[in-house]
Structure 1
């Protein structure tokens, strides 16, 4: 049994959950886009309204967007800044929290490891199982946004939408790596999943609360520091340094998970 065999088997067990999550996200996209026409016709000065909010609130839930009159700016605030970075990111970290811990709790890890497969390959296989899940959710939401924009006769920049989903997908993979490390370290599903969600949620707040303060350096520990949906979708700018850091962080987390699992006693 090799990494791809493990990945294929693990993914097949999770297909139903991924389909359900994708359906919920499509519904969320549909409702969000359906509100935009009435939102745009409102007499409220949303720019002035945004400026009235505390800076920490704007950083966390609005990001770099200053204009909500365009569909791109609206989607950043209503979909990508909160739903994608926090909720979808937490879901994938939560799901990954059971990758190794679930096998240990069911006492099935030993059955796999007695075959000619190392613990490192076992961990890598589990990680690879989540990549098609991330890709599927990413594509489904992308398609739903494009289809929804067409239904309300609004134009959206496809290139910039591809940018936010490309970097956004990489961010979700990094969240999977967080859950994988927690799963390898704790080897108890509830504890691993709770820790994974706590790390994603805590790092989201850390980035928001430390920005433009004397403690801004602490925000560099947060994955959300390296993805700005507003810059990607509205301005069309890619922070390639941030992309490199997300890739590096993912690799480091997977290596750490493999190392931790190698050293743990399963008895």
Structure 2
């Protein structure tokens, strides 16, 4: 009954290891830079256009928390990792449909609902591996340069990112059950994640248009507030979890009623 979950979980191991290695290299680069440029942060902040601070939620670059939030979490974690999960989600169903494997899968005594849920369940591998691995890398990296993170804040920035990443994956999942071609599904999911991220960032620049970004998942995950101000928005995480469940329910509904 859990064969799909086991197979899909094994598929996610290699990609997760590669991403952890990439984040380790990026972290080593940024941690090596920080001691040398810490005293020049005021000059660097003046060199940045004002809208960049709003777009990437940049604050207090002179602190290790603000620096790492800006250099690692603002772009690589929120945007690129969000894109990665959308990419995974978009291939969960569409790839098997495109390659004619779905006919074989459904010829077994298994429901379509179970197929979708087991494939989504396999996301536990990158979620656990990346959040645990990168958190340890960041914590140890800070210690090695004589700095320190609040371990609770660092744990929370990763824990509260899980609902956000799940929503990105579920966005891809919906595209995966609607579109037969995996390349098209991935393009649609990635494009939507990027556009929503941009719209949300730009909407924060002008308070009159802040409401426009309310539909973007990135609105409900503020890594800088967590790391720099130790503010934990559990309510926003709840909104993201609810959105994830709704998107999965939509995907299941569509998949159980379509012809393969």
TM range (shorter): over 0.9
| Cα 1:82/1:214, change in 2 over 3 Å | same
Taking the TM superposition and a 5 Å limit, the aligned residue runs for 1:194-205 are: 194-205=187-198
Tell me the secondary structure at the aligned position of residue 69 of structure 1: coil
Once superposed, what is the RMSD of the aligned Cα atoms? 1.5
Taking the TM superposition and a 5 Å limit, the aligned residue runs for 1:49-88 are: 49-50=47-48, 53-55=49-51, 57-61=52-56, 63=57, 65-88=58-81
Which of these residues, 80, 99, 104, is aligned with residue 97 of structure 2?
104
Task: Say whether 1:121 aligns with 2:117.
Answer: no
Deviation string for 1:148-189 (max 9, x for gaps)? 111111111111001101111221122111111111111211
Task: Say whether 1:235 aligns with 2:229.
Answer: yes
Contact 2:41 2:61 (C-alpha < 8 Å) held by counterparts: no
Task: Say whether 1:22 aligns with 2:20.
Answer: yes
| Cα 1:186/1:43, change in 2 over 3 Å | closer
Contact 1:47 1:67 (C-alpha < 8 Å) held by counterparts: no
Which of these residues, 127, 134, 137, is aligned with residue 141 of structure 1?
134
**Structure 2 unaligned blocks of 5 or more:** none
Counterpart of 2:210?
A: 216
Contact 2:127 2:162 (C-alpha < 8 Å) held by counterparts: yes
Shift of 1:44: 4.4
CA distance in 2, matches of 1:43, 1:75: 13
**Structure 1 unaligned blocks of 5 or more:** none
Task: Say whether 1:252 aligns with 2:250.
Answer: no
CA distance in 2, matches of 1:66, 1:140: 25
Contact 2:13 2:125 (C-alpha < 8 Å) held by counterparts: no
The TM-score, its normalising length taken from structure 2, stands at 0.95
Which of these residues, 84, 89, 97, is aligned with residue 82 of structure 2?
89
- 41-50 or 134-143, which moves further after superposition? 41-50
Shift of 1:114: 1.6
CA distance in 1, matches of 2:41, 2:114: 58
CA distance in 1, matches of 2:46, 2:259: 58
Q: What is the aligned length?
A: 259
CA distance in 2, matches of 1:20, 1:204: 25
Contact 1:163 1:232 (C-alpha < 8 Å) held by counterparts: yes
Deviation string for 1:201-244 (max 9, x for gaps)? 11100101122343322211100000111110111111122111
CA distance in 2, matches of 1:40, 1:248: 40
CA distance in 2, matches of 1:86, 1:195: 15
CA distance in 2, matches of 1:215, 1:259: 34
CA distance in 2, matches of 1:60, 1:5: 43
| Cα 1:184/1:37, change in 2 over 3 Å | same
Contact 1:46 1:67 (C-alpha < 8 Å) held by counterparts: no
Contact 1:168 1:227 (C-alpha < 8 Å) held by counterparts: yes
